[in-house]
Chain A
Amino acid sequence: MLDRYAELYEEIARELQRALPEGWTKTWAWSEMSANDGSVVVYYLDAAGTVGWIQPPLALYDRFRELNNAARRTNPALVWTSATFTLDAHGAFDVDFGYDPIPIEEEADRRAAWKIKYLPHE
């Protein structure tokens, strides 16, 4: 199972690399998942230090869905509801998981807090 996690992290990184424009230096993919629905948002930093975003590919969503399903199989009592995957252009990555409720209507508020926590201040 741990191997599968490693594979999925690699696949997430690959999907991001495929989707991002040339010259990106760092990227953040933020996903929220419940049993029947989920979301993903992608920001990145370009060489000039400007924060940009891309349209997230569906394939990236699918990888996060699989990651969440894997968690469901491992320990159904403790399944993450949010994940932040941070990747730099050298391939180093980091994943944070959150376990708080994720009411869809309050996504905008959560995103504002998430941006403060992860993105460079604009």
Chain B
Amino acid sequence: MSVIDSVAAPGSPPQQQRSTPPPKPPAEKQPPLQADTVARADAPLQPSPLDAFVARNGGAAGVGLDALKGLAAGDPTGWFPKGPLPTNATMTDEHGYTYKSDMFGRPVSASGNLKSNPNPTGTRDAAAKRAQANAGGADRLATDDGGHGLANRFFGRSDAWNLTPQDTNLNHSAYRSVENGWAKTLDKGGGSVTAESRAVYDQPTLRPTSYVVTSSTNGDAPTLRVMENRANAGFSSASDVGKSEAFIKTMGRVSEGLEVAGKVAAPLAVAADAYRLGSAVQQDGGTIGKHTVETAGSVAGGWAGAAVGAEGGAEAGAAVGAFFGGVGAVPGAIVGGVVGGVAGGLAGSELGTDTVQLAESAGGAITSAAKSVMGWFSK
């Protein structure tokens, strides 16, 4: 059973609608949560976990998801990323390379059988240089380059299909080393390389959090390589909390956007919770103090209900228990379990791939958020 199935069939009429999500009870009024209570999916929690889940989400989760779909189309909240490409599009160019965009018009993959370009710089005109200098728009960091998915030296395009804001260190070290390896194979004569570079966006921005590059040389087993696009998201300890401000603001935009829309989808409520936790840590001066513990109690208590409905609910419940055993054990697992359940429900639903993709994107943001919170806690 998935979270969605347990709450309402997608598309069913709203059980309640309101202009803002219902307020959560103050943290100190949350009953203490026992790990053994949560881990048993058949043990009823007070109040009913499903009621709590539904209430938390401003009505039926299905309605929230419909709202999300509408938001993606109209986006009155302004927090969905607006990529430069047509949405969900595929384009194959004269070199036989295939480029794809996601539902936000962001470049997501570039692939093909690589060919060496003997004159890479000569094929880059002023427009190409401009595109490279502006990739990522407002989400580009000062320390970013316009990074090619497939390099210009292989005839990769220098336009929005193939450019993302990429940390300059990554662009000039790991990513370039991968390309050097490919070039070595091609230049040996008779060597072949098939490659796909995927941009992974864990946050609702135009800046990828990582790249997944899969390549096969001379028909041998493919290497799957993951390269983190750190700088923006790369804070991993409490001493880095200052850097996390951008992240906290992003999560703030998420929760504010939801309030404007008046409907909250389950995955995004998690993001808002991660934001609350992050804020609490910051209030406590980057350590685990009173605010953090109170907020964590409230968040975990609220999600316990959802976890019961989620596939893998027991696992999520155990995670909640672990959370209280020592804060080091983290909301990440809770969030993962819940989001997994939600995504599972969506995959089988009639809402279609757009919504699934949207939920995945939201799920990515949440995972990233949770990881960040873990980072703070691990200090």
A and B form one complex = yes
Q: Identify A41's interface contact among B184, B212, B224, CB under 8 A.
A: B224
Interface residues of A, Cβ cutoff 8 Å to B? 36-43, 53-56, 58, 61, 65, 103-108, 111
* Chain B stretch 303-352: residues in CB contact (< 8 A) with chain A: none
B94 CB to closest chain A CB (Å) equals 27
Q: Is B230 positioned at the interface, with any CB of A under 8 Å from its CB? A: yes
Flag the segment in B20-28, B214-222, B284-292 that touches A.
B214-222
Q: Is B133 an interface residue (CB 8 A)?
A: no
Please indicate the chain A residues that have their CB under 8 angstroms from the CB of B222 in the complex: 41, 53, 55-56
Residue of A with least CB distance to B225: A39
Identify which of B174, B177, B180, B223 gathers the most chain A CB atoms within 10 Å of its CB. B223
- Whether a CB of chain A sits under 8 angstroms from the CB of B178 is yes
Task: Say yes or no: A41-B214 contact (C-beta < 8 A), given A36-B230, A104-B177, A104-B181.
Answer: no
B177 touches A38 (CB 8 A): no
- B contact residues around A38 at 8 Å (CB): 225-226
Instruction: Assess whether B228 is interfacial by the CB under 8 Å rule.
Output: yes
Does any Cβ of A come within 8 Å of B45's Cβ? no
* Docked CA distance A111–B228 (Å): 23
> With an 8 A cutoff between CB atoms, is B227 at the interface?
yes
Which B residues lie within 8 Å of A39 (CB)? 223-226
A-B contact pairs, 15 of them (CB 8 A): A36-B170, A36-B174, A38-B226, A39-B224, A39-B225, A41-B224, A55-B222, A55-B224, A58-B212, A58-B224, A61-B226, A103-B177, A105-B181, A106-B181, A107-B181
Q: Are A108 and B184 in contact (CB under 8 A)?
A: yes
Q: What is the CB-to-nearest-CB distance from A61 to chain B, in angstroms, rounded to a whole number?
A: 6
Q: A56-B222, A105-B180, A108-B181 are in contact. List 9 more A-B contacts (CB 8 A).
A: A37-B227, A37-B228, A38-B225, A40-B224, A41-B222, A53-B222, A58-B224, A104-B180, A107-B223
The complex places the Cα of A40 from the Cα of B212 at a distance, in Å, of 11
B residues contacting the other copy or chain, number (CB 8 A)? 21
Given contacts A53-B222, A105-B177, contact A36 B212 (CB under 8 A): no
Give the one of B180, B181, B221, B227 with max A CB within 10 A. B221
Smallest CB–CB gap between B109 and chain A, Å? Answer: 13
Distance to closest chain A CB from B312 (angstroms): 14
Residues of chain B within 8 A (CB-CB) of A108 are 181, 184-185, 217
> Do A37 and B226 have beta carbons less than 8 Å apart?
yes
Query: Which of B174, B184, B226, B230 has the most chain A CB within a 10 Å cutoff?
Result: B226
Interface 1/0 per residue, B173-206 and A, CB below 8 Å: 0100110110011000000000000000000000
Chain A residues near B220 (CB-CB < 8 A): 53, 111
Chain A residue nearest to B181 in the complex (CB): A105
The A interface, classified by DSSP as helix, strand, loop or mixed, is mixed
The count of A-to-B residue pairs whose CB atoms sit within 8 angstroms is 58
A37 in contact with B224 given A105-B180, A105-B181, A108-B217 (CB within 8 Å): no
Docked Cα-Cα span, A65 to B177, in Å, equals 20
Residues of B within 8 A of A58 (CB): 212, 224, 226
Nearest Cβ in chain A — how far from B75, in angstroms? Answer: 29
Q: Which residues of B contact A105 (CB under 8 A)?
A: 177, 180-181, 184
Query: Quick check: B174 and A42 within 8 Å, CB to CB?
Result: no
- The 8 A-B residue pairs with the shortest CB-CB distance, nearest first, are A53-B221, A104-B177, A39-B225, A37-B227, A56-B224, A36-B228, A105-B180, A105-B177
Q: Which of B223-273 contact A (CB under 8 A)?
A: 223-228, 230
Considering the chains assembled together, what is the distance between the CA atoms of A36 and B221 in angstroms? 23
* Chain A residues within an 8 Å CB radius of B181: 104-108
Q: Which A residues touch B174, using CB under 8 A?
A: 36-37, 104
> Given A104-B181, A108-B217, does the pair A65, B224 have CB atoms closer than 8 Å?
no
CA distance A61 to B224 in the complex (A): 8
Question: Which residues of A are found within 8 Å of B227, using beta-carbon distances?
Answer: 36-37
- Give complex CA distance A106, B223 in Å: 13
For the complex, give the distance between the alpha carbons of A4 and B185 in Å.
39
How far apart sit A78 and B377, CA to CA, in the bound complex (Å)?
Answer: 24
In whole angstroms, how far apart are the Cα atoms of A39 and B225 in the complex?
A: 4
Provide the bound-state CA to CA distance between A103 and B174, in Å: 9
Which residues of B have CB within 8 Å of A43? 221
CB distance from B296 to the nearest CB of A (A): 22
For the complex, give the distance between the alpha carbons of A41 and B226 in Å.
12
Tell whether, in the assembled complex, residue B225 and residue A37 are in contact, meaning their CB atoms are under 8 Å apart.
yes
Q: Are A41 and B185 in contact (CB under 8 A)?
A: no
